[in-house]
Amino acid sequence: MLRGVGPDNRSDEGREEINMTVSTQSGYVVFDKVEKTYDGRVLVVKSLDLTVARGEFLTMLGPSGSGKTTTLMMLAGFETATGGDIYLDGAKINHIPPHKRGLGMVFQNYALFPHMTIAENVAFPLKVRNISKADAESKVRKALEMVQMAGLEGRKPAQLSGGQQQRIALARALVFEPKLLLMDEPLGALDKQLREHMQYEIKRLHETLGITVVYVTHDQSEALTMSDRIAVFNDGRIQQLASPDELYEKPQNSFVAQFIGENNQLRGVVKDILGGHARVEIGSSGTIEALAIQAEIGKPTIVSVRPERVEIEPASSDIAAIGRIEEVIYLGDHIRLRMNVLGNSEFIVKVRNGSNRRGFAVGDEVKIGWSLNDCRALDV
Amino acid sequence: MHPTIDQKALTRQLATAERRNKIKAFLLVLPLLLFVLASFIVPIGSLVWQGGYSDTFANALPETSKLLAAWDAKSPVSEELVKSFVTELKASKLKDPATPTRVATVVNRELSGSVSKFKQVMNASDLASPYKEKLTALNGEWEKPDLWRAMKIVSPSFTPRFYLQAVDLRLTAEGDVKPEGDENAIHLLLFGRTLMVAALVTFFCALLGFPIAYLLAHAETKTSNMLLIIVLLPFWTSLLVRTTAWIALLQQNGVVNDFLVAIGLIDNDHRLVMMYNMFATLVAMTHVLLPFMILPMFSVMKTIKPNLVRAALSLGATPWTAFWKVYFPQTIPGLGAGCLLVFILAVGYYITPALVGGQSGQLISNIIAFHMQKTLNWSLASAIATLLLIGVLLLYWLYNRLVGIDKMKLA
Amino acid sequence: MGGNTVGVHAFRNVPSMKLGSAEMKNWNGKLMLLGAMGTLAMSVAAAEAAQLTVISWGGAYTKSQTEAYQKPWMAKTGNTIVSADYNGGLAEVKAQVESKNVTWDVVDVETSEAISGCNDGLFEKIDASKLPKGDNGASPMDDFVPGAITDCAISTIAYANVFGYDSTKFSGDKPTKVADFFDLKKFPGKRGLKKEAKVNLEMALMADGVPAADVYKVLATKEGVDRAFKKLETIKGSIVWWEAGAQPPQLLASGEVTMTTAYNGRLFTPAVTENKPFVIVWDGQQQVFDTWAIPKGSKNKDLALDFIAFSTSTKPLADQARYIPYGPARKSSAPLVGKFQDDKTDMAPNMPTNPANMTNAIVQDVKFWADHYDELNERFVSWIGK
C-alpha cells in the first residue's frame, strides 16, 4: 500500500512532476531542493528532492561520501541546509533546533550514555520531558520488553554486548513515541549474524508500531531486507528512488545496477533503437539486443545482465551467446562460473545447484541465454 | 573422556616456559624500580623519619643525654651532669671541630642565646672540678635551670617536638605539651591559608580551563594544534620569567593600570592595587598551573564521542541539559585529574606567591623552605612537610572515594 | 616544581646566583666529592711556581678587585694570580681542608663565614698587627674600622644596608632620618623591605630612637624585640617585600614603592649611570664586611699573607672604590677615594665608610645573629604570615 505513494520513476520528467505535487501535500517528510556545502565550494548534497510518507520505512543507501548521512543529519537538525527547505508533517523545520524536533534517533556505535544505567538511559528522554516518575517507569519497562531487554535495568552500557546495546539504543529512541525514527548505520558495528537478526527485529518493530523510519546504510542487503523504498545516493544526488524489487529488477542507471546486487556489464555501442529495444554492438564480437533504458543511437552504453538470470543451455531465449568457462567456484547452494562471453572474460553466471546439475570444467564452451527483459542498456 | 593429564606437570611446564619472560620483564622494569626507590620512597621515608628523629645532641653528648633524661627538670643540676656536659662537649670537638657549634645551634632553637654560652665554655681553658662552680663563674646563666631544661628537651633522639611544633605546640622539659606563644604560632594559620589558596587556584583553573580544553578537543585539528601550542607556551619559559611578567603587568605603573588610565576607566591617582596581595597570588598561580588542568581535561574530552551530545539532543534534551547531564559527567575523570594535579602542585608552590603575593603570599611551603635554607632546622621542615604530605594523601583518598582513581586520566 | 630559592645575595652587583652561606654550610658533606674533583683539576695549575689562587664572587666585584689589588700586586712582585669564582659558603674550603689538598690560597668570604670557618679550623689565623701601617702612619689596629679585623680574616670593604627614595615622589621635605622611613604621614607611599629579620629589626629600633651603639643590647631583650616588631607593625600594611638585591631599584623605578631598603651599590649604579632620581639616606646604615681569608694548609701561605697585606693597605682599598661604591675597611683610605670610573662622580660621599655617612651607623653584629638568628627569624616569619 505504501508503494503507491512513491513516484513511478520510469522517466526523469515524470518524476519531477510527481514530486512537485507530493512535496507540499501528502509527504510526511519532505526535502525540497535541499543543498548542503561544508566549505562553500563543493556541494555534498545537490538539489535534493525526497518525500517520505507517514509510516514508511525509507532507506538512504549509498557509498561513503555520497551525501546520505549529511541528509539524515539535516533532517535531525545537526546540520543546517544551505539551500532548500525541509518539512516535517507539513511544517518547515529548517530552523528548529534538534531537541525540539521530537525525532528518535539511533546512532552508529549506539551512543548510550556510559555513566547512566540502562534504565536511566531509556528514561532520559522521558526525564527531559518532565514525565512523572511512575509513568516513566512503566514506559521504560514496556520499551525494554519491546526490545526483549527486560531485566537489565541496573546495568551499565559497558556491561552489555553490542547487540544488547543496540536494542537499548532502540528502546531509548522509541520510548518517547517520536514522530519519526532516524537510524544512522545502526548495525554497522555488529557481526554478520547478529546484524541479520537485528534487521528482522527492527523490521518487526516498524511494522508493530507503524512508525516512520528513515534509515541510513551502505549495506545493500540491509536496505533490501528492511525497506519499503530505497533512495540510492551517489555524488550528492539520489540516483534512484524505488522499492527494493524494482531497484533490483529495474535499475535506472549503471551505478544503481552495479551498486545493488551483482551485475554483468557488457560495454558496447548502440547501433539503433526500435520500439524501446536497442541493438548494441559489443566490440567486434557481435551484437545483442537490450531494453533501451538510457541509450542513444551511436553512443556507447553498458548492457547489464544479472548473473542469476543467465541460463545455461536454455531451450529457448531472447538472447543467446556462447560462453567459455574460465573458472568454476563451488558455493554449496549454487555454482559460480566465470566465463568469457563476447570478449568479456569477467562474465559471471550463477547456476542453481540442483540435483540434476551437470558438471562444468574450465575450457568447456557452453550455450547461454537470457530474456530481453533482464537485459538493460544503461548509461556509461 | 580424555585421559587424565598430570596437572602438576603441566603447571610446571607452564612455569618453566614463562620464567624466562618473567625474568626479562623484571629486568626491564628494574631500573625504574630502583629509580623510584631511590628518588621517591627513600627520600619520603627519610623525611618522615627526620621529622621525629634528631640525634645531634645525643651523639655528641651521650652520657649527658642519659643524665638529662634522669633529671627532673626542676631540682638543681648535679655536679655529675655538669662534669659530663663539659667533658663531653670538649671531647666532641676532637672528632669534628664543628660539633660543639652544631650542638649549640640545636639547643639555641629552644633557648635563644645558647650559642654564645656554649662558645664561652669551648673557649674556657680552665674548666675543672668543681665544674658547676666554674661554669657559674663563667656565666651566671649556667646556674639557672633554663639552659639545662632546653638541653633536656633536645637530648632524646626520638622526639615528637618537631611534629608538635609543626602544629604550633611546644614540648616542655617536663614532657608536657603547651601551645606555642602567640607571636610564634603561625603554622596552623598557614596550613589553612595554603589549602584555601590551593582550592581557589584549583577552582579558577577549572573554570578557565574547561572551555579551553573543550575548544581544544573539538576544534579542527589545525586550530586545536595552534591552541595547544598556545596553552603549552608558558611551559617553555621559566617560572621566574612568567612570574615577573605578571609583576610588570599588574604593578601600579604596570601595563594593566596604564591601559585603564589611558582609556579613562580609572583616575591616575587611584590606580588599582593588583600587586602584592591575594589577587596577584591567585592570578599568577592560576596562570602558571592552568596547563596542568587543561591537558588531562583535553585528553579526556578528546575521547568523548560527539554522538553522545547529539543523542541527548535528539532525545529532547536542551543544549544545557545535554551538556550538564551527558557531556559534563564524562569529563569528570579529566576534571578530577586536573584538579588533583593543580591542587597538589598549588599546595607546594611558594616562589610565585612569595614574589607577587606580599604578606598574603606567605604559605606553608615558604616556611618549609625557610627552615630548609635559613635556619637549617631540617627536622622541623621535615615534620611540616610530612604533615602536608599526609594532608595531600587524605585528599587523594577522598578523590579516590568520590571519583575513583582508576578513572583518572592524565594527558 | 618550584624548588629553587630566590635568595640572591646580589649586593656586589654580581650577576651570578649565590646561595646563602648558611645553606652552603649544610651541604658540606655532599659537596666533598665535588670539591675533591675541583681540587684535582686545580692541582695542575698550582704546580707552577709562585702562583696564587684567589677566589672571589665574580662579576663586577671581582673586576674591581682585579684592577685595584691583583694587577698592582703582580706588577710589584712578579708573581701571577689565578682568579676563580665561587658562589660563597664554606663547603669547598671544608672539602679541601679535610682532604688535606688545599689549592685555594685566598678566599673572599663574609665576616660571618670567616668567623664560623675560623671556629671550625678551616682558616689560618692572621696576625693583624703585622699588617702595614696606614699611609697616614696609623697602626693597622687603629686604621681598620671596628669589626673589620677578625682572628682569621681581614676585611677589604664594607657594603651597607641603607634605604633610598625616589626624589620625584616627595615635593616638600625629603627623608633624611631612619625614622622618616616609618613616617607614612609625612612621606606617604609603600616601603620596600628585605624579607628577613636581619637589618629590619635593627632599623626599626634605630627609627624608634635607640642609639646605634645600643641597638644589639636592646635587641637581645624580649622587650627590645617586641619594640622592634611594634615599630615594624606601624608600616606593615605598606610593605612590599623583596628578596633579591636587584629588586629594590626595580621597585623604586616602577613606582611600586616610594622608599626601600637596599644594598648601597644597587641604588648608586642606576642613579649615576642611568640618572635615576634615587637618593640614598645614610642615617641608620648597617655595614657588613667582606674579608680575605686563607684556607688552612695553603701551600702558598706566605705569599697569600703578602697579597692580603698588600691589597688591604691604604691605596689599593681606595683604588677599588673607583669601580664599585663599597667602602674601604681602612680609615686612611677614605681621603684617597677619587672618582667613579666615569671620572665625574666623586666616590667619597657615596661610600658607606665616609665619615659623613657614619654619623648614625652600625656594623652588623655577627655574634648576636649567631645566637638569635633562628629565634628572631621564626618570629619574623610568623609575623609576616599574619
| DSSP tag of A100 | G
Q: Is the pLDDT of residue A178 over 60?
A: yes
The count of structural domains within chain C is 2
Same domain, B248 and B378: yes
The CATH number of the structural domain formed by A2-102+179-255 is: 3.40.50.300
Exposed, middle or buried by CB within 10 Å (0-12, 13-18, 19+), for C185? exposed
Contacts of C7 in chain B (CB under 8 A): 373
Residue C36 lies in a domain: yes
**Closest-CA residue to B148 (of B67, B91, B93):** B67
Are the C-beta atoms of C37 and C95 separated by less than 8 Å?
Answer: no
Cell numbers representing residue A195 in the block? 546484524
Q: Is the pLDDT of residue C42 over 70?
A: no
Q: What is the largest distance, in Å, between two alpha-carbon atoms of chain A?
A: 77
What SS3 class is residue B403?
A: coil
**Calpha distance A84→A32 (Å, rounded):** 6
Same domain, C154 and C168: no
Residue B170 lies in a domain: no
Question: What type of residue is C70?
Answer: Q
Same domain, B40 and B105: no
Place of cell 516512520: A212
R_g (Cα) of chain A, nearest Å: 24
Place of cell 551511436: A298
Strand ranges (DSSP E) for B139-185? 169-171, 177-179
Q: What percent of chain A has pLDDT over 70?
A: 93
Binary contact (A129, B313; C-beta < 8 A): no
Contacts of C220 in chain B (CB under 8 A): 113
Full domain range(s) for residue C268: 161-287+365-385
Cell numbers representing residue A242 in the block? 524505488
Contacts of B315 in chain A (CB under 8 A): 99, 104-105, 124-125, 128, 172-173, 176
Binary contact (B112, C386; C-beta < 8 A): no
Binary contact (B310, A109; C-beta < 8 A): no
**Closest-CA residue to C151 (of C280, C267, C296, C346):** C296
Same domain, B263 and B370: yes
Full domain range(s) for residue B290: 187-407
Residue C47 lies in a domain: yes
Per-residue pLDDT band for C16 (boundaries 50, 70, 90) equals very low
Residue B177 lies in a domain: no
Residue C54 lies in a domain: yes
For range B227-232, the mean pLDDT: 86
Report the residue of chain B nearest A112, measured CA to CA: B308
Residue C175 lies in a domain: yes
* Residue range A309-346, pLDDT digits in tens: 998 888 888 888 889 999 999 888 889 999 999 888 89
Report the residue of chain C nearest B113, measured CA to CA: C371
Q: Is the pLDDT of residue A223 over 80?
A: yes
Binary contact (C240, B109; C-beta < 8 A): no
**Closest-CA residue to A227 (of A208, A209, A242):** A242
Per-residue pLDDT band for C26 (boundaries 50, 70, 90) equals very low
Same domain, C27 and C59: yes
**Chains C+B touching (3+ CB pairs under 8 Å):** yes
Contacts of C372 in chain B (CB under 8 A): 112-113
Q: Is the pLDDT of residue A214 over 90?
A: yes
**Calpha distance B100→B364 (Å, rounded):** 31
Same domain, B66 and B41: no
Q: Which has more confidence, B405 or C133?
A: C133
Are the C-beta atoms of A4 and A241 separated by less than 8 Å?
Answer: no
Q: How far is A90 from chain B (nearest CA, A)?
A: 20
Per-residue pLDDT band for B351 (boundaries 50, 70, 90) equals confident
Report the CATH fold assignment for A262-378. Answer: OB fold (Dihydrolipoamide Acetyltransferase, E2P) (2.40.50)
Same domain, C26 and C41: yes
What SS3 class is residue B122?
A: helix
- pTM tops 0.95: no
* Residue range C174-222, pLDDT digits in tens: 999 999 999 999 999 999 999 889 899 999 999 999 999 999 999 999 9
Domain coordinates of chain A in residue numbers?
A: 2-102+179-255, 262-378
Q: Is the pLDDT of residue C11 over 50?
A: no
Cell numbers representing residue B113 in the block? 642565646
Q: How far is A103 from chain B (nearest CA, A)?
A: 6
Same domain, C121 and C230: no
Same domain, B124 and B260: no
Confidence at residue B113, expressed as pLDDT on a 0 to 100 scale: 85
Q: Where are the alpha helices (DSSP H) in A29-127?
A: 68-76, 118-127
* Residue range C331-364, pLDDT digits in tens: 898 888 888 888 888 888 888 888 889 899 998 9
* Residue range B124-135, pLDDT digits in tens: 877 888 888 888
DSSP C85-152: E---SSHHHHHHHHTT-----EEEEEHHHHHHHHHTT-B----GGGSPPPTTS--HHHHBPTTSB-SS
Among the residue ranges B139-143, C20-24, C255-259, the one predicted with the least confidence is C20-24
Binary contact (B369, C5; C-beta < 8 A): yes
Report the residue of chain B nearest C247, measured CA to CA: B355
Same domain, B13 and B62: no
Q: What is the 3-state secondary structure (H, E, C) of A351-364?
A: EECCCCCCCCCCCC
* Residue range A42-59, pLDDT digits in tens: 999 999 999 999 999 999
Q: How far is B19 from chain C (nearest CA, A)?
A: 41
Confidence at residue C147, expressed as pLDDT on a 0 to 100 scale: 83
Binary contact (A109, B317; C-beta < 8 A): no
Q: Is the pLDDT of residue B103 over 80?
A: yes
Among the residue ranges A126-135, B12-21, C45-54, C353-362, the one predicted with the least confidence is C45-54
Mean pLDDT of chain B: 88
Q: A364: Cβ–Cβ under 8 A, 6 or more apart, which residues?
A: A324, A325
The tally of CA atoms less than 13 A away on the side-chain side of residue B48 is 7
Report the residue of chain B nearest C244, measured CA to CA: B355
Per-residue pLDDT band for B405 (boundaries 50, 70, 90) equals low
Binary contact (C377, B370; C-beta < 8 A): yes
Contacts of B406 in chain A (CB under 8 A): none
Cell numbers representing residue A179 in the block? 514522530
Per-residue pLDDT band for A239 (boundaries 50, 70, 90) equals very high
Are the C-beta atoms of A126 and A142 separated by less than 8 Å?
Answer: no
Cell numbers representing residue C289 in the block? 664586611
Same domain, B207 and B145: no
Interface test with B, best of A69, A107, A139, A156 (most B CBs within 10 A): A107
Q: Is the pLDDT of residue A12 over 80?
A: no
Are the C-beta atoms of B71 and B106 separated by less than 8 Å?
Answer: no
**Calpha distance A220→A241 (Å, rounded):** 14
Residue C5 lies in a domain: no
ipTM surpasses cut 0.85: no
Mean pLDDT of chain C: 83
Report how far apart, in Å, the C-alpha atoms of B383 and of each of B190, C151, C157, C262, C377 are: 14, 38, 41, 34, 18
Confidence at residue C355, expressed as pLDDT on a 0 to 100 scale: 82
Per-residue pLDDT band for A20 (boundaries 50, 70, 90) equals very low
* Residue range A95-139, pLDDT digits in tens: 999 999 999 999 988 899 999 999 999 999 999 999 999 999 999
Q: How far is B397 from chain A (nearest CA, A)?
A: 22
Q: Between C22, C116, C240, which is nearest B374 by CB? A: C22
Q: Between A99, A109, A173, which is nearest B307 by CB? A: A109
The count of structural domains within chain B is 3
| DSSP tag of B38 | I
Among the residue ranges B63-72, C86-95, C119-128, the one predicted with the least confidence is C86-95
Report how far apart, in Å, the C-alpha atoms of B91 and of each of A172, B117, C29, C123 are: 87, 17, 22, 21
Confidence at residue A172, expressed as pLDDT on a 0 to 100 scale: 95
Residue B165 lies in a domain: no
Of B31, B53, B75, the last residue of a domain is B53
Same domain, C25 and C111: yes
Q: Compute how many other C-beta atoms are within 10 angstroms of the C-beta atom of residue A246.
A: 18
Among the residue ranges A241-245, A374-378, B4-8, B219-223, the one predicted with the least confidence is B4-8
User: Which subunits count as partners of chain A given 3+ CB pairs below 8 Å?
Assistant: B
Please tell me if residue B190 touches chain C, with a CB cutoff of 8 Å.
yes
Cell numbers representing residue C210 in the block? 635607640
Place of cell 640525634: B55
Q: How far is B311 from chain A (nearest CA, A)?
A: 6
Per-residue pLDDT band for B410 (boundaries 50, 70, 90) equals low
Of B157, B174, B209, the last residue of a domain is B157
Residue B331 lies in a domain: yes
Residue C3 lies in a domain: no
Residue B126 lies in a domain: yes
Please tell me if residue B303 touches chain A, with a CB cutoff of 8 Å.
no
Same domain, B203 and B113: no
Same domain, B198 and B65: no
Same domain, C350 and C369: no
Interface test with A, best of B315, B321, B325, B402 (most A CBs within 10 A): B315
Binary contact (C382, B185; C-beta < 8 A): yes
The tally of CA atoms less than 13 A away on the side-chain side of residue A287 is 11
Binary contact (A99, B308; C-beta < 8 A): no
Same domain, C34 and C92: yes
Please tell me if residue B352 touches chain C, with a CB cutoff of 8 Å.
yes
Residue C241 lies in a domain: yes
Q: What is the CATH number of the domain that holds C343?
A: 3.40.190.10
Binary contact (C6, B355; C-beta < 8 A): yes
Q: How far is A168 from chain B (nearest CA, A)?
A: 13
Mean pLDDT of chain A: 88
Query: What are φ and ψ of residue C340, in 5° steps?
Result: -65, 170
**Closest-CA residue to C65 (of C316, C337, C354):** C316
Of B22, B37, B53, the last residue of a domain is B53
Binary contact (C381, B366; C-beta < 8 A): yes
Same domain, B36 and B66: no
R_g (Cα) of chain C, nearest Å: 21
C83 DSSP β-pair partners: C54
Per-residue pLDDT band for B84 (boundaries 50, 70, 90) equals very high
Same domain, C328 and C206: no
Confidence at residue B2, expressed as pLDDT on a 0 to 100 scale: 57
Binary contact (C1, B116; C-beta < 8 A): no
Are the C-beta atoms of B55 and B49 separated by less than 8 Å?
Answer: no
For range A47-76, the mean pLDDT: 94
Residue C132 lies in a domain: yes
Binary contact (B314, A105; C-beta < 8 A): yes
**Closest-CA residue to B51 (of B383, B369, B381):** B383
The tally of CA atoms less than 13 A away on the side-chain side of residue C379 is 21
Same domain, C212 and C340: no
Q: A380: Cβ–Cβ under 8 A, 6 or more apart, which residues?
A: A254, A267, A299, A300, A301, A302
Binary contact (C367, B186; C-beta < 8 A): no
Same domain, C165 and C282: yes
Same domain, C372 and C235: yes
Report how far apart, in Å, the C-alpha atoms of B153 and of each of B65, B106, B116, B172, B176 are: 10, 10, 19, 7, 11
CA A375 to chain centre: 22
Report the residue of chain B nearest A102, measured CA to CA: B316
Interface test with C, best of B359, B372, B380 (most C CBs within 10 A): B359
* Residue range A255-313, pLDDT digits in tens: 999 999 889 999 999 998 988 899 998 887 788 889 989 888 889 999 999 999 998 88
